[in-house]
């Protein structure tokens, strides 16, 4: 059986680990923890591991800057799969306590923001302390009386914590889109998506002309997101997802036409379209 | 003299306060501190204060989600000014120490990211602790031996700290665009910009048709940024800045044409175009 080493962003007890565990389930994949998204992507590009699972965008918060920057800047890696992972947050503490006994609440700022209704209603006045990750917040509870953390269910299991409440997120629709990166993308399946990144000249109508290349062929864009380029200040990167596989009939003409309108253009890969949410860990 | 109360996002010792102090300088403006961007904008919309100064986007990090969400969701407020404020970060500690004596480094995660080269070179292996704001990081230094913070110069002045190094940011080009919001936008000056927000139907070519409204009139877009809508999951908000004032000749036709192509559309205001950076505090 071929080796299948999958890198993910640690620490344990985060949604990245939960999504990696769901991806690994019932396969021969072996998980490797890395401390940054850049390190995951570098390990894939240099061949230390076969695949990396990284967060690309959150439905409420938008794109994950570190992943987008790495995808735009790193050569020889492609997106080969996508996975829509539901974001379900839990309140946990070292011991079984009542909510009134909680004085301080630890979590990643995004997770605190995603539970703002619950916190306002049930934990008004409690001090909120930002942590580097939901996993770090849960780990830091050990030995802290009066402290609670907001983290995924997996964190309670890992650090032997008590689940005080489950599903405390404001929106039940929230999910993070993870992508699996590899040195090759996915062969066509008949129901695919293609991701690309480009920069445009600073002229009236330049983005309009790029979008025209898709519109004339009636190719739907499923996402367009802009982000400042870290290489050239004032330049913007546009991340575009479109329907279809990059090797579909007549797609070569499309890529050539786009390349003629832009200042930079890179295909990030084609992969099967997955709209439904993955199972929760 | 009319009252001119200006709200800004606290705490003191952040770039928001520095920018507010520069905006206030040599005027009769009075500053009021608020704890969230939403609270600043609400105070303007309900008439408690005349103006609010809020961060809209950072050149390296991109849009400020809380401001964009409030601008899209709140009625009766407009952008009346923009201000490009340079981001210059300093390393500070309670006492004058050598860099080798620093064991822990506090700052907002964005500020830590913006000084990554300096930290890698001069503070390798030092524990980085995330704080809610650069101001909170500086305030928390008091009484902490071996701790340092990355914050704006103003924070050292406020909390009586020693400046160990100045200008430690990776990019000297970095700046944050602040906007002044009010219940009325700015009258035409001849060199203006207009900001708007819209959502588009989920159909091939819908963004293309919106951009065509501008391109046919040769109106340059100075910025387009997409962000997930918090109201309808899966929907995207597009924030567009274009050249010119919203009341310019023939602009009414443009707004009508756009309104016919979109599912939601709101003019966020017109204001004088300011490309040059403001003075530093």
Q: Which of the four pLDDT bands, split at 50, 70 and 90, describes residue A1?
A: low
State whether residue A203 sits within 8 Å of chain B by CB.
yes
**Residue B100 to chain A, least CA–CA distance (Å):** 24
- DSSP states along A73-140: H-SS-EEEEEEEEE---EEEESS---GGG--EEEE-HHHHHHTHHHHHHHSTTPEEEE-SSHHHHHHT
Nearest residue in chain A measured CA to CA from B57: A228
State whether residue B228 sits within 8 Å of chain A by CB.
yes
Q: Which of the four pLDDT bands, split at 50, 70 and 90, describes residue A73?
A: confident
Q: What is the pLDDT of residues B161-177, one digit of tens each?
A: 999 999 999 888 889 99
Which pLDDT value is given to residue A30?
A: 96
Chain B CB contacts of A131 under 8 Å are 130
Q: Which residues contact A121 (CB under 8 A, 6 or more apart)?
A: none
Q: Would you call B208 and A214 a contact, using CB atoms and an 8 Å cutoff?
A: yes
Mean per-residue pLDDT, B204-219: 92
Q: Which of the four pLDDT bands, split at 50, 70 and 90, describes residue A232?
A: low
CATH number for the domain formed by residue range(s) B90-166: 3.40.190.10
Q: What is the pLDDT of residues B70-117, one digit of tens each?
A: 999 888 999 999 999 999 999 999 999 999 999 999 998 888 888 989
Above 80 in pLDDT, residue A141?
yes
Which pLDDT value is given to residue A137?
A: 93
> For residues B192 and B244, is the Cβ–Cβ distance under 8 A?
yes
Tell me the range of A79-83, A127-131, A236-240, B167-171 where mean pLDDT is highest. A79-83
Above 70 in pLDDT, residue B6?
yes
Chain B CB contacts of A69 under 8 Å are none
Mean per-residue pLDDT, B1-20: 89
The residues spanned by each domain of chain A are 1-85+174-184, 90-165, 192-270
Report the relative pairing of strands A127-130 and A192-199 from DSSP bridges.
Answer: unpaired
Chain B CB contacts of A212 under 8 Å are 208
Which pLDDT value is given to residue A198?
A: 95
For residues A15 and A31, give the distance between their C-alpha atoms in angstroms, rounded to a whole number. Answer: 14
Class of domain A90-165: alpha beta
pTM of the predicted structure, to 2 decimals: 0.84
**Residue A234 to chain B, least CA–CA distance (Å):** 7
Which pLDDT value is given to residue A248?
A: 95
State whether residue B170 sits within 8 Å of chain A by CB.
no
State whether residue A205 sits within 8 Å of chain B by CB.
yes
Q: Which of the four pLDDT bands, split at 50, 70 and 90, describes residue A244?
A: very high
SS3 B212: helix
Which pLDDT value is given to residue A49?
A: 97
Above 80 in pLDDT, residue B235?
no
CATH topology of domain A192-270: Alpha-Beta Plaits (3.30.70)
Q: Which residues contact A134 (CB under 8 A, 6 or more apart)?
A: A13, A14, A15, A89, A107, A108, A111, A149, A150, A151, A152, A155
Which pLDDT value is given to residue B231?
A: 65
Among candidates A57, A58, A215 on the partner chain, residue whose Cβ is nearest the Cβ of B205: A215
Q: Which of the four pLDDT bands, split at 50, 70 and 90, describes residue A3?
A: confident
Across chain A, what does the average pLDDT equal?
Answer: 91
Above 80 in pLDDT, residue A150?
yes
Mean per-residue pLDDT, A266-281: 91
Chain A CB contacts of B205 under 8 Å are 211, 214-215, 218
Q: Which of the four pLDDT bands, split at 50, 70 and 90, describes residue A234?
A: low
Which pLDDT value is given to residue A277?
A: 87
Chain B CB contacts of A208 under 8 Å are 208, 211-212, 214-215
Q: What is the pLDDT of residues B245-267, one digit of tens each?
A: 999 999 999 999 999 999 999 99
State whether residue B96 sits within 8 Å of chain A by CB.
no
Q: Which of the four pLDDT bands, split at 50, 70 and 90, describes residue A169?
A: very high
Q: Which of the four pLDDT bands, split at 50, 70 and 90, describes residue A233?
A: low
Which pLDDT value is given to residue A164?
A: 97
State whether residue A225 sits within 8 Å of chain B by CB.
yes
Mean per-residue pLDDT, A89-109: 94
Query: Is domain B192-273 given the CATH code 3.30.70.260 in the classification?
Result: yes
For residues B163 and B183, give the distance between their C-alpha atoms in angstroms, rounded to a whole number. Answer: 40
Chain A CB contacts of B207 under 8 Å are 211, 221, 224
Chain A CB contacts of B57 under 8 Å are 228
Q: Which of the four pLDDT bands, split at 50, 70 and 90, describes residue B233?
A: low
Which pLDDT value is given to residue B101?
A: 95
For residues B151 and B66, give the distance between their C-alpha atoms in angstroms, rounded to a whole number. Answer: 21
Q: Would you call A61 and B228 a contact, using CB atoms and an 8 Å cutoff?
A: yes
CATH topology of domain B1-85+174-184: D-Maltodextrin-Binding Protein; domain 2 (3.40.190)
Nearest residue in chain A measured CA to CA from B224: A226
Q: Which of the four pLDDT bands, split at 50, 70 and 90, describes residue B229?
A: confident
**Residue B86 to chain A, least CA–CA distance (Å):** 13
Above 60 in pLDDT, residue B243?
yes
Q: Which of the four pLDDT bands, split at 50, 70 and 90, describes residue B232?
A: low
For residues A87 and A15, give the distance between their C-alpha atoms in angstroms, rounded to a whole number. Answer: 7
Above 70 in pLDDT, residue A91?
yes
Across chain B, what does the average pLDDT equal?
Answer: 91
Q: What is the pLDDT of residues B115-146, one digit of tens each?
A: 989 999 999 989 988 888 899 999 999 888 89
Q: Would you call B215 and A224 a contact, using CB atoms and an 8 Å cutoff?
A: no
Question: Which residues in B165-187 are b (16+ Cβ under 10 Å) and which e?
Answer: eeebbbeeebbbbbbbbbeebbe
Residue B276's alpha-carbon distances to B56, B82, B154, B173, B179, in angstroms, are 16, 11, 22, 12, 14
Tell me the percentage of chain A whose pLDDT exceeds 90.
69
Question: Which residues in B96-126 are b (16+ Cβ under 10 Å) and which e?
Answer: eeeeeebebbbbbbbbbbbbeebbeebbeeb
Q: How many CA atoms lie within 13 A of B57 on its CB side?
A: 21
Tell me the percentage of chain B whose pLDDT exceeds 90.
69
Same fold, B1-85+174-184 and B192-273: no
């Amino acid at each position: 059986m071929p080796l299948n080493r999958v890198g993910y962003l640690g620490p344990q007890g985060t949604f990245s680990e939960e999504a990696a565990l769901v991806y690994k389930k019932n396969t021969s994949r072996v998980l490797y923890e890395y401390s940054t998204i850049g390190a995951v992507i570098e390990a894939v590009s240099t061949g230390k591991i076969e695949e990396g699972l990284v967060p690309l965008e959150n439905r409420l918060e938008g794109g994950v800057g570190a992943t987008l920057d790495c995808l735009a800047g790193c050569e020889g890696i492609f997106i080969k799969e996508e996975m829509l992972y539901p974001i379900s947050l839990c309140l946990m503490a070292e011991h079984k306590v009542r909510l009134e006994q909680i004085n301080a609440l630890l979590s990643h700022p995004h997770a605190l923001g995603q539970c703002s209704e619950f916190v306002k209603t049930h934990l008004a006045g409690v001090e909120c302390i930002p942590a580097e990750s939901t996993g770090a917040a849960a780990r830091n509870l050990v030995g802290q009386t009066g402290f609670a953390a907001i983290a995924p269910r997996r964190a309670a299991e890992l650090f032997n914590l008590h689940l005080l409440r489950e599903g405390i997120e404001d929106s039940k629709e929230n999910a993070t889109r993870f992508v699996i990166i590899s040195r090759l993308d996915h062969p066509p399946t008949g129901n695919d998506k293609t991701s690309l990144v480009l920069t445009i000249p600073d002229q009236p109508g330049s983005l309009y002309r790029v979008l025209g290349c898709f519109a004339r062929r009636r190719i739907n864009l499923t996402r367009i997101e802009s982000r400042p380029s870290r290489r050239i200040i004032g330049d913007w990167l546009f991340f575009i997802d479109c329907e279809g596989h990059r090797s579909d009939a007549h797609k070569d003409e499309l890529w050539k036409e786009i390349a003629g309108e832009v200042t930079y253009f890179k295909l990030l890969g084609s992969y099967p379209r997955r709209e439904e949410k993955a199972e929760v860990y």
